[in-house]
Structure 1
Amino acid sequence: MKKVFLFIVLLLLCLFHLRYLSRTFDWDSCVYALNIQKNRIESAFFNPHHLGFESSGLLYWKWIQSIYPTTDIMFFLRLRILAASLLFLGTFTWLFHKLYKDYIVALLLMLVIQFSQAFWFYSLHNDTPLIHSCLIALLFLFTVFFYRLGLSKRHLIFLWFLQLFTIYFHQSNVIHFGIVPMALILSKGKSFGIKMRTIFIYLLLLGIATIVSYLFVGFVILKRGLGPIDEKHFTFWMFLYAAINRWGTSVGEKNYFLYFYRGIGDAFLVFQNVTPKLRVDFSNFFAKDHLIYNLNALFWMFTLAMGFINFRNLWKQFKTELLLMFFWLIPSICFYTWWEGYFFEFWVGTTIALWILNFYILKSFSSTMFAQFSKSVIHTTYFLLAGFFFLTNFAFSTLPRSIGPKFGYIEGIQGPVLKLADEQIYHR
């Protein structure tokens, strides 16, 4: 019955999203669609920081056309992202229920994640953040799940492939290499020497697979070389987003505190493009331009304060989860704040991690004497949060962007974008 109910919830979410599917066109989403539309394997591997995104998109697009001949590529690529989002939400709910034996909290937490701005936006948008963030979240949850079952060889093989695919879908996920090794260190029943040997083999094979994949794509598929240092050089392709000054490592003064504040804030509530201003203002707490952002900031400040105050119980109940999450949250916050922290696309996975951490903190206050009351407090909290994020982000983000088309930064590709925006399916 629980599986049937979950299926109905996901079906309703799917129908709702189809009704309000994004009609926003920006540079990234359009370039990725155009790379697939070229129907060439070289174009599908043009972007080194996500080998799996466009290449799997090309296979998907060929499959769609074999079933239903169409030229409406952007619409169907958005359906692909939506399907990945719903599949993750279903798997998340199932795993969370299995781990913590609370079906209602699993459903409500799934909805809170869904209605957070970054996750919701990229569930309806042909861009890279959604799939790889979901894969990292699943890597964390499956690692916890298998840790409790004893981390057999079969489990490690599954986690190895899952982790490899997180790297294929976004190069930056190499920073999360420590999640599975930490679980191995914490596992029981094996000597320290066996654990270290297993970790060494796991990481060695992961590194070899990653390196060989990039060498094969760069030298064989794209025919890059090691001659003169120019755009045809292998390293230029491999480190494309670090080689061009307009991204990530571009020179100039950087305010990393503001980067983090902007990125993480936009990931929860309606984003503000690149306006460098602070929307949290406790001196004007109830002003309409600040109220929702003040409430969100206050909620997270209160959450972290509660976690600090109750850290002894938190550590006692969720020691394993916290140690594994360290290798998810801390590298994410440090790396993405340094890279392009002001873009909320980099914080999709971090918001998922923070919601899971929020559950651990609330759960650490649960009392065995008042178990049902403690559960009802957590359920009520997530019900109210889901409603808050739904009303805010739907009214000011999802609804306006479903009435389109709307155009963001499309410099240099205006012509092809206008053709994408005029897809026939929207006129039927």
Structure 2
Amino acid sequence: MRKIVVILFILVLLLFHLRYMSRNFDWDSCVYALNIQKNKVEAAFYNPHHLGFESSGLLYWRLLQDVYPTTDIMFFLRLRILAFALFFLGAFTWLFYKLYHDFIAALLLAFLIQVSQAFWFYSLHNDTPLIHSCLMALLFLFTIFFMRKGLKGKHLIFLWVVQLFSIYFHQSNVIHFGMVPMAVLLTDGRTFGTKMRIIFLYLFTLGVATILSYLFVGFIILKRGLGNIDEKHFSFWMFLYAAIDRWGTSGGEKNYIHYFYRGIGDAFLVFQNVAPKFRVNFSDLWNRSHAPYNLHLLFWIFSLSLGFLNFRKMRKEFGKELFIMLFWLIPSIGFYTWWEGYFFEFWVGTTIALWILNFYILKSLSFPSLPKFSQSLIHSTYAVVGALYFITNFTFSTLPRSVGPKFGYIEGIQGPVLKLAEEKIYK
């Protein structure tokens, strides 16, 4: 019965998303589509920070042409992202239920993840943030799941493959190298020396596979060299986004607190994009223009404060999960705040982690003598917050972007983008 519920949940989301598919066209999503449309392996590996995104997109596009010849590339690339998002939500629901034996909470958490602004936006958008973020979340959940089974060799091989593909889909995931090794350290049944040998082998082979992959793509596929320092040099391709000063490490004054506040805020709700100012205003708490954002911020302040005050009990119940999660959350928050924290695309994975953390906080506050009542409080809280997120993000984000083409920054590629926007399937 539960499996049928999950399938129906995913089916309803699929039909809903197909009805309100994004018509937003910006520089990144269009360039990635155009790279695939060229139907050349070299173009599919142009971006070094996500080897797997366009290359898998090209393979998908070629297979699709064999089954259903079409020129509507942007729609079907968006459909690919949506399919992976829905697969993730189904896997998340089932894994979370298996881990914590609360099916309704698992389903509501999957809904909360879906209606958070960053996940919702990028599940309908041909861009890189969603797939690699979902892979990191699956890596975390499978690590916990397998750790409870003793983290055998076959489990480590599976986790190794997931982590390698997460790096292929976004280079920045190398910062999460510590998640699986920490699980190995926390698993019982092995001596400390054995654990250290397993960790060394895991990290060494992961590092070698990653390095060899980049060397193969750079030198063999793209035919880069080590001669003159120019656009044909291997290092220029490898560190492309650091070499162009409009991204990441660009000059100018940086307010990292502001970056984090704006980025994480937009990742949950349409926090700043709708208006050129922050929409939180506690001096006018119930004003319709501010109420959703005020309540959202109060919810997280209250939740995290409860977690801090109840940390001893939370650590007792979820100590291993929290320790492994540190190697997911801390690198993400630190690196993405420094890199381009004001863009909510970098916070997709962090929002998923924070929803899982929120469950640990609320679950640790449960009354042992009143288990059903405690569960109903968690379920009711998530249902109310989910409704708030759905109404706000649908009204100000999903609905406007589904009505006719919307254009973001597309300087230099206006012509090809207009052709993408006129795809027949949208008519």
The answer for the alignment partner of 2:98 in structure 1 is: 98
Alignment of 1:174-253 (within 5 A): 174-253=174-253
- The CA deviation at 1:290 is 2.1
- Superposed displacement of residue 294, structure 1: 1.1
Q: Alpha-carbon deviation of 1:287?
A: 2.9
Query: How far did 1:385 drift?
Result: 1.2
Displacement over 4 Å in runs of 4+: none
- Measured after TM superposition, the shift of residue 337 of structure 1 is 0.2
Query: What letter is aligned with 1:189?
Result: G
Task: Verify the 8 A CA contact 1:269 1:392 in the aligned structure 2.
Answer: yes
Map of 1:84 onto structure 2: 84
1:401 paired residue number: 401
Q: Deviations over 1:47-75 (max 9, x none)?
A: 00000000000000001111111000000
Q: Which AA in structure 2 matches 1:297?
A: L
- Trace 1:104-123 onto structure 2 (pairs within 5 A): 104-123=104-123
Confirm or deny: 8 A CA contact 1:160 1:206 kept in the other structure: yes
- Contact 2:274–2:396 under 8 Å retained in 1: no
1:252, 1:291 → 2: CA distance? 34
1:288 deviation in Å?
3.0
Match of residue 355 from structure 2 = 355
Shift of 1:273: 3.8
Report the TM-score, using the length of structure 1 for normalisation. Answer: 0.99
Q: What is the letter of the counterpart of residue 74 of structure 2?
A: M
1:73 and 1:217 map into 2 onto residues whose CA distance is 25
Deviation at 1:284, TM superposition (A): 2.4
Moved more, 273-282 or 119-128: 273-282
Q: How does 1:197-346 map onto structure 2 within 5 Å?
A: 197-273=197-273, 277-346=277-346
On the 8 A contact 1:151/1:187 being kept in 2, the answer is yes
Question: Structure 1: how far apart are the matches of 2:131 and 2:244?
Answer: 25
Give the match's secondary structure for 1:288: coil
Q: Aligned partners of 2:231, 2:190: CA distance in 1, in Å?
A: 49
Name 2:422's counterpart in structure 1: 422
Shift of 1:386: 1.1
Q: Contact between 1:274 and 1:342, CA under 8 Å: does it hold in 2?
A: no
Compute the displacement of 1:5 (Å).
Answer: 1.2
Q: Is the 8 A contact 1:117 1:271 kept in 2?
A: no
Q: How many Å apart are 1:275 and its aligned residue?
A: 6.9
Alignment deviations for residues 161-193 of structure 1 (CA, whole Å, 9 cap, x no partner): 000000000000000000000000001010000
| Amino acid corresponding to residue 227 of structure 1 in structure 2 | G
CA distance in 2, matches of 1:175, 1:356: 20
User: Deviation at 1:286?
Assistant: 2.4
Structure 2 unaligned blocks of 5 or more:
none
Q: In structure 2, how many angstroms separate the alpha carbons of the residues matched to 1:129 and 1:425? A: 25
Please name the residue that 1:154 is paired with: 154
Q: Give CA-to-partner distance per residue, 1:362-415, whole Å, 9 cap, x none.
A: 000112200000000001011111111111111111011000111000000000
1:113–1:352 CA contact under 8 A, matched in 2: yes
The aligned length equals 427
- Tell me the alpha carbon deviations over residues 146-174 of structure 1, each in whole angstroms, 9 at most, x when there is no partner: 00000000000000000000000000000
Structure 2 Cα separation of the partners of residues 290 and 48 of structure 1: 41
1:69-123: CA deviations, max 9, x gaps?
1000000000000000000000000000000001110001100100000000000
Matching residue of 1:369:
369
1:317-345 deviation per Cα after TM superposition (whole angstroms, max 9, x unaligned): 00000001000000000000000000000
Q: For residue 220 of structure 1, what is the amino acid of its counterpart?
A: I
How many angstroms apart in 2 are the aligned matches of 1:277 and 1:132? 30
Measure how far apart 1:276 and its partner are.
Answer: 6.4
Unaligned runs of 5+ in 1: none
Deviation for aligned residue 1:280: 1.9
Which range is displaced more, 161-170 or 265-274?
265-274
